[in-house]
Amino acid sequence: MSVTFEEIRLSLPHIEVAAHLYGPEDGQPVIALHGWLDNAATFSRLAPLLEGVRIVALDLPGHGHSDHRPLGAAYNIWDYAHDVLQTAEQFGWKRFSLLGHSMGAIVSVLLAGAMPDRVERLALIDGVIPYTGEAETAPQKLGESLQKLLVVDDKRKPVYASFEQAVAARMKGVGAVSHEAAERLAQRGLMPVPGGYTWRTDARLMLPSSMRLTRAHAWAFVHGVACPASLVLAEQGLLTQPAMLELTQALPFVLHRLPGGHHLHLDDQVGAEAVAAVFNPFFAG
């Protein structure tokens, strides 16, 4: 993989995060957000193909080379919106666009819906709203989360004897990926430990959510988005269930259906170029 980015670290007021910088310094400001358990390398194929933009591809807290949240803190999805906003503040960006994949797309919608005056454009890949839960399930969800929190332990993360074993495991993980995509994510996501390699990700990311937004909450954020929004749907992605397809049809966003899996922008060059062909005119618009 050729190096087409600059590696940086940002000391935000509440946490230190790592990121990859792509594109010209005078390009349109874009903050790129990866999916759950992934890292900034998810944009390593796509970002170099996007024109006229200055991309900050974050490792979200608990992922990649960014710090983990302090002990006792949670990984609520809406807290990532604060991380993104503080990143924009570091660069002095009062208006910026968001490029999000999966969980990163969900965070993008939450932030754009909450602070429409700050977000210029939304470029989303196979993600839009979080898994929702209604009020009657909230006590059970909180109880399950608290119980799991009592026993969470970084030592229980899997240890792989070789880099290649870790790559093979990631290929079969959430949102299965190609071998080369898994290699790219693993190169940034693994760290050496006695006995081999394990993931840098915080074990608390595997905990069940303590609370979920209701469907009404989620739609309120969608309808709060005031900027242009373009959503790429992978034909073999995670939004192919009938209920999710029905949901996407009701979105006030421009939809583009492309062949490929959930990581179509990373799995191969053809997929990355197809996504870039959608987003280049969108950002230029």
The two structure tokens encoding residue 1: 């993989």
Considering the candidates 102, 178, 209, 210, report the single residue annotated as catalytic: 102
The two structure tokens encoding residue 268: 């191969």
Looking at the chain, list the stretches that DSSP marks H as alpha helix, in order from N- to C-terminal side: 79-91, 103-114, 138-149, 163-171, 179-189, 215-224, 242-249, 264-267, 269-284
Which phi and psi (to 5°) does residue 108 adopt? -60, -45
Instruction: Name the residue type at position 65.
Output: H
Alpha-carbon distances of 198 from 43, 132, 171, 205, rounded to whole Å: 22, 31, 15, 15
Q: Is residue 102 flagged as an active site residue?
A: yes
β 96-101/119-125 pair status: parallel
Taking the C-alpha atoms of residue 130 and residue 124, their distance in angstroms, rounded to an integer, is: 13
Q: Are 283 and 97 in contact (CB under 8 A)?
A: yes
Instruction: Supply the residues annotated as catalytic.
Output: 102
